[in-house]
Structure 1
Amino acid sequence: MCCAGRRELFCQLMVNPKLCRNKKKIIEELKHFDIAHPEVQQLRILVHGPVGAGKSSFISSIASVFRGRMVQAALVDAGSGTSFTTKFKSVKFKDKERNVLPFVISDIMGLEDAEVAGAPTDDLVMALEGHLKDGYLFNPAGSVQKEDQFYNSCPTLNDTVHCLVSVLPGDKIGMMNDDQVHTVIQKLREIRLKASALTIPQVIVMTMADKACPEVNKDLRMIYRSKKIKEKMLECQNKLGVTTNYIYPVKNYHEETELRDDVDILLLSALKGILNFANDHVEEKLDD
């Protein structure tokens, strides 16, 4: 769905007095998502991005929406400045009845400014191809070896990544200096190129939209009307080359203790787009 279409849909949902019913409808649709390929039990999403971009918070926020309460699906560090995620982990999601949902999101070590720091790009490429097993401990000094117990020598379509999600912080994207462009952004671009070679679809989830614009911070319904948010989306586009119709501005849960329908709708909209792109990818494999 194009950016204008998402804006119109979001505005309709937000002014509709039956917002909660609309949210439940989307949740039910995603809970029973019809995967196109019979060999794929769960669509596999890989999230990557700079340290502190909100990857783990995004995963936990998605988990919270489906469980109907706050959930810590991926551990989050409030401000160490280094990656809190050290192991490769594929998070499975459950609904209120504890039914397993038809998708998983793989969480990885954040990309850091230093040339040799954070997750090695070779490891991320291995993850794209399905070679990394859950539990693999990232080593910034070197990538996974074939003799490693967490190396999957014969990945199936069910092991490979079906959609690559770059998570970028909307409030900080414009502050990234030249050094960061040549390190973190360069790493992101390298991974994108490899994903493109594997025909894996790619999107950007732009987190912290509420911190990027004062109007949106006051009223989340302004997110697709905000010129500031549009500028931030264009900055994401210019840095990674992903067009704005594949960029989803969201707000993660980071201060709240209770769920909010406006936050949930944005998260669900992003997830729905991601799963559709992932499903298109596995359908192409079926056609091949």
Structure 2
Amino acid sequence: MHISGRNNVTVAIHEFILLGFLCSQEIEILLFIFFSIIYILTLLGNSAIIYAVWWEQQLHTPMYTLLANFSFLETCYVNSNVPTMLLNLLSKTKTISYNGCILQFYIFLSLGATELFFLALMAFDRFVAICHPLHYPIIMTKKVCGASVSACWVGGFLWSMTPAILISQVPFCGSNVIDHYLCDVGAMLAISCAPVPKTTLTCSTLSAVILLVTLFYILVSYTLVLRAVVHVPTDSGRKKAFSTCASHLVVVSLFYGSVMVMYVSPGATNQPGLQKFVTMFYSIVTPFLNPLIYSLRNKEMKIALRKVFCKV
């Protein structure tokens, strides 16, 4: 039972139905095969980066340590929603328990917030390395790097507690059908049996704050980085700096561009099809592309991955 104290309404909803992609069984099987391949390749790609950084001594630097932790985060991110989606594609009932739905929402949102913090931290790392190279070993020590990584994880999960608590108090007394393939804020608010403007406004505000603050920090950092790169004396050094920054900026653009569509206005009347597509882009496509982006544009990473695959 879920009880809304404000309205004194007892809600007899113990589970939700995730509609998924609303297509025929034959198409669902094809989607299952397609997303399974993407899922496996995503796990393999991110795991390869983690192993390469761990195995190659040359990559035992703060930048690659952050990259390995980011790849681990991406692995957790796809595991928070893709397995459920794959099971629902083959299931006839497509149900998820009320508690399971709230838990999935919290974990999914927390990992997304953690990724925003990680992208800001990686921008800070590049800023210090390029703008203050002589102070880099003093500033980005192993202890500082470890503490920063921990702060990203803790901050992401603490930030998401408020939206998760608010969503758990939303009254669901009518339909239990969520027109999505996961428990996301917009789709859940759409089936509330009573208006919840304060919850919608709070979730929207919290999302806008974390998105805009971290994005502003990243843009300022890379503006300063690009100014410093222009004054790098050698062509090889300038090219290496541009290559490293370009990879990160591509990831930032892909992730922020899609996330801002969904979470700046979670109560907006978006079409369910658009919600699913955008969510799929930043939760499935981006983690799949990240290993390719970082490995293809980074010479050291390509060499390390080549050694790993030759060893295997």
Is the TM value for this pair above 0.5?
Answer: no
Looking at secondary structure, tell me which structure has more strand per residue: 1
TM-score normalised to structure 1 length: 0.32
Higher RCO (CA < 8 A, seq sep 6+): 2
Structure with the higher helix share, 1 or 2 = 2
After TM superposition, the score normalised by the length of structure 2 is 0.30
